[in-house]
Structure 1
Amino acid sequence: MDVNPVDPPIPVPDVPGADATARGLPRRIDLTARQRFIVDASAVADLGLRTAIASLLATTMLPTLAGGLSRSQSRAEREQLEFYADLAEAKDPTRSFPAPSDVPRVSSRTANPVAEWIAKGRVHNIRFNSSFTAVNPALRAQCRSFTRNNVVHAQHWRHDDGPHPTLCLIHGFMGSPYLFNGLFFSLPWFFRSGYDVLLYTMPFHGRRAEKGSPFSGHGFFANGFSGFAEAMAQAVHDFRSIIDYLEFTGVDRIALTGMSLGGYTSALIASVDDRIQAVIPNVPVVAPDQTVDEWFPANKVVALRNLLSNTDSDLTGAATLYSSPLNYVPLVPKDRRLIITGLGDRLAPPHQAEMLWEHWDRCAFHWFPGNHILHVSQPDYLRRMTRFMRDFMFD
C-alpha cells in the first residue's frame, strides 16, 4: 500500500510538522524560524475566525438568557446539571451512553454524480430513523420533537468487490457538507488505497438541522447545556448504530477520525465502543467549558446566563465531564490511538489535545504548524495517518 498520498485538492503550504516528544508538544524555541512564522500567522488568523464563530454562538445562546430570569427555569437547569454531574461522577460509559438495541433499517440511494466522480467509485447516501432516547427523562419529549434531527444521515463510499476496512469521518461544528470533507481530508486517496469511506452527519447538522435553523449546527447549542449534553449523547448513539450497520454489511475493521467537534466526538466514542480498531482525533476539543471561557463574546453570554440562573461554576464543570473523553477510560488500545493538533490553533488550542494525550497514556501525537482550518503540512500528517493505520487495517 502506497504511503504517499496525492497532494490534497485544497492547496496548503507543505511546512513539515513532527511527532511530539516524551515532553509533549515543542516549545516555541524548539521551532525553526519558518515554523514560528507559520504558527504566529496562523494563530492571528484563527483569532479572527474564533471571534466570528463565538459571535454566532452568542447570538444562538441569547434566547436562553430569558430562562435565567425565571425561578422555575433556573431550578430546572440546576436539576439537569446535577443529573449529568452524577452520571459523570460514575465514570461508567455503559450508563452514560446506552447502546442501541437494534440494527437500524437503512435506506440507501445513489449519491449525486459529482460525489461519484470525486470518489471514482460507488457512493450512496444512507439514512435511517434514530433509535435514540434522551438520557435525561426530563428531556425525552423535547428530543423526540426534533423530527429532522431524528433521521440519521451518512454518505458511504464502497468498493464493488465486497466490504473493505472502513475509514469513518466525523465533521466539525458547521462543517457537515460531504463534498468539503471528502476533499479536505483527501478521502478519494484513502478510497483508492483500499478503504471504504463513511462520512457521518452529526446531530442538528446538514439535513438533520430542524426547519428554521439559521445555520447547520444551530441546534447543538440552542437548547442550553442540557441540550448540548443530549446532542453529544445522540451523536454517540447514532454512530454506534452506524457501526451496527457496517458490521451487518460485513465490515470487520473500522477506523475513526474527526475534526474539532468531530475530534471530540471520535475520542468519546473510543471510550464507549470497543469495536473501533483505530481512532485519530484531529484538532480536538476535550474540555468545552474551558474552551468557551476563551471565546469572546460567547463567554460573556455564558457568564451572564450563569449569573442570572445562579448556576454554580463547580457544578457546571462537573456536568461538563459527562460528555468529555477525559472522563472515561479509552477502549481502543494505546498503539491504535493517534492525536493530531495544530500549534497555531486558537479554536481548539493545542493544550486541549495535550490534555487528551496525557489522559491517553501519551499515545502517538503529531503536530503541524497551522491553525484550525489551514492545516499546513497536511500531506505530512496524511502520510502519518496512513503509516499508523496500515498494519492493523490491512494485515
Structure 2
Amino acid sequence: MVCTRQCWGAGLILLGLFAGCNKPVEEIARPPEDPDYYRQLPPGELALVKLTDPSQWPDFSGGFAHRTGLEQAAMNSLEYMTKPSSKAFFPYGDISHDHAVASIEAFIEVIRNARSGEELDATIKERFDIYQSRGCDDHGTVLYTGYYRPIFDARMKPDGEFRYPLYKRPDDLELNPATGKYQRKGGGPYLARAEIERGALAGRGLELCYLRDRFEAYIVTVQGSGRLRLENGRFFDIGYHGDNGHEYASIGQALVDQGLITPSELSLQGLIRFFQQNPNQLEQILPQNPRYVFFTPRTGGPFGSLNVPVTPFRSIATDKEVYPRACVAYLQTLVPARTADGGIRNHSYHGFALDQDTGGAIRAAGRCDFFLGTGPEVGELAGRTLAEGKLYYIFLRQGVPDAGTAVNPQPPANPQSDQVPEW
C-alpha cells in the first residue's frame, strides 16, 4: 500500500476491531453477526465469482461522477502489464494476461466515450463480464478501510531530537521465489521488528534517515512509503524496498484486547494521542507487529506494490494471492468526506478503481483498502474510513471486440475538477 502500505493505511490499525456489521451499501444476504474479515479461502480458491444472473449486476452509473484521474490510473495498470514479470501472475482463473490487458484497454475507451452514467452502465453490461468478490462470508461482504501517504519531519543524520532510523534493505535479505516472501539469505526467518528497533541493524550503514517520533517511524514502516520534510524544507520521498517477511499484526487489536483503549477511540488520531500520553507503552505494543519494511529513495509516486503510481480514490489495495493484479474494479461502500461546516460524515461511494497495491493487513478476500492521497488532512479521512460494502471486477466479454489498437492517453470526455476527494 507500497504506497505499500506502502502508504500509511490509517485503517490498518483499526482492522478486525469491530465485530458488528455496518449496514451494507446494497442489499445482500444477511452476513454472520460476527464477521471474520480475515477469513482465508481454501487453498487454490480465488476471490472472484462470475455473475451470470443480470439481476445481481450492480448499477455502474455511479462511476460516471468519479472519473477524474481514472484514465491515468488505468494507463498505469497497462504500464505494469507490459512488464514481463506481470505474466507470472496470469492466468487468473480463466482470465489470461492478454485478456486482462484487452479488458483494461477497452475500459479506457468506454470511460473516454461515455456521455452519461446511464450510457456508462449500459456499455459496461453489454461488453464486459462481471465478477463479484466472495467477501468474508461468501455473501459479498468486504470491509473497506483507507490509507494515505503521510508527511513527517526527518533528518539525514541523527541528533538529540531525530533519533529513530528508517533502514535500507539489508544485503543478507532475499526473496524466496517459491513463497514470494522475504527471508534471511540462505533460508530462515529474518529479524523481527523488536530486534530491528533495538538496534540489530545498527552499524551496518543501512540508516536512510531519522524521524523524531517512534510512532511516526512505526507508521512509515507499516505503510511502506512516506514523504519526509527535511530541515531545509526540501521533501524526500521514500518507497518500499522489501520487508522482513513477517506477517502483519494489528496493534489496534492489541490495545483493545488489553483494555487500553475502547473501540470508539480507534482512529489514527486516537492512537497518536494514546502514545503521546503513554509513551511507555510504545516498547510493549509496537513489537507485537513483527512486520518491518525497508526503504529506498523514490521520485514521483507514491507507488503501489506493482511499482506504478497510485492515484487518490482510483487505486485500491487487495490480497494479491486471491485478487487479480492491475485489473478494473468497481466499489460500493461508504467513504468519509468533509462537510460545509468542517465536519466529517460518510457518503455513499460507487466508483471504478484499479487494483494496484497490497498491504501487510490486506490478506483476505474480505478486505479492500482505498488510497486517498497525501498529507495530514487526507490522513484524518483515511483514519475514519471503515465500512462494509461490495467489490466487483470487470473483464471484456469473450467475442466482444476490444479496443483493437494500443491506447494512448488523451483527456477524458467532460473533464471534472481535480478536487480530492471528489464526490
TM-score normalised by length of structure 2: 0.27
TM-score normalised by length of structure 1: 0.28
Q: When you count strand as a share of all residues, which structure comes out higher?
A: 2
Higher relative contact order (CA 8 A, sep 6+): 2
Q: When you count helix as a share of all residues, which structure comes out higher?
A: 1
